[in-house]
Amino acid sequence: MKTKTIMITLLACLLGFSTTFAQSNDKKEIDWKTDTLKVFGKCNMCKETIESALKKKDGIKSKNWNMNTKLLVVTYNPDVITLDAIHHKVANAGYDTDKVKAPDNAYDKLDNCCKYQRTEN
Ligand SMILES: [Cu+2]
């Protein structure tokens, strides 16, 4: 009787363990992607605006815009957001990227100190 109880307990443990294992195996690892894009901005306030346009809930893991190089390095979950969508998010915050031009009304909303020189095209 005692042996049976032990056996059942052991079996239950094993079953529980294998289920946990299967679950963690099922859960897909996030295949983070890192890309660099050019974003035309000027100062530290631009940095704030550019970086806060990219949010964690949108699949962004990290972002860092360099004021001197104008390069934004962004790590994101490609299952959640595309690089194209990232360009658009930055552009909608008022900043031209190397691919997407910011809407004029978004640019106009920027603080005067942040009004970077736009290229004509
Ligand atoms: Cu600025």
pLDDT tens, residue by residue, 96-107:
999 999 999 999
| Rounded distance from Cα 102 to ligand 1 centre (Å) | 15
Question: In this structure, what DSSP letter does residue 85 have?
Answer: H
Q: Is the pLDDT of residue 121 over 90?
A: no
Q: How far apart are CA 60 and CA 71, in angstroms?
A: 16
CA angle 85, 60, 44 (to 5 degrees): 90
Q: Is the pLDDT of residue 25 over 60?
A: no
| Rounded distance from Cα 12 to ligand 1 centre (Å) | 61
**CA Rg, the chain, in Å?**
24
Q: How far apart are CA 81 and CA 105, in angstroms?
A: 24
Segments making up each domain of the chain, as ranges: 1-28, 33-114
| Rounded distance from Cα 45 to ligand 1 centre (Å) | 4
Task: Give the global pTM.
Answer: 0.76
pLDDT score at 85:
98
Residue 38: strand pairing partners: 71
pLDDT tens, residue by residue, 37-79:
999 999 999 999 999 999 999 999 999 999 999 999 999 999 9
At which residue do the structure tokens 């595309």 appear?
82
| Rounded distance from Cα 97 to ligand 1 centre (Å) | 15
Q: Residue 119's pLDDT band (boundaries 50, 70, 90)?
A: confident
33-114 is a CATH 3.30.70.60 domain: no
| Rounded distance from Cα 30 to ligand 1 centre (Å) | 33
| Rounded distance from Cα 61 to ligand 1 centre (Å) | 23
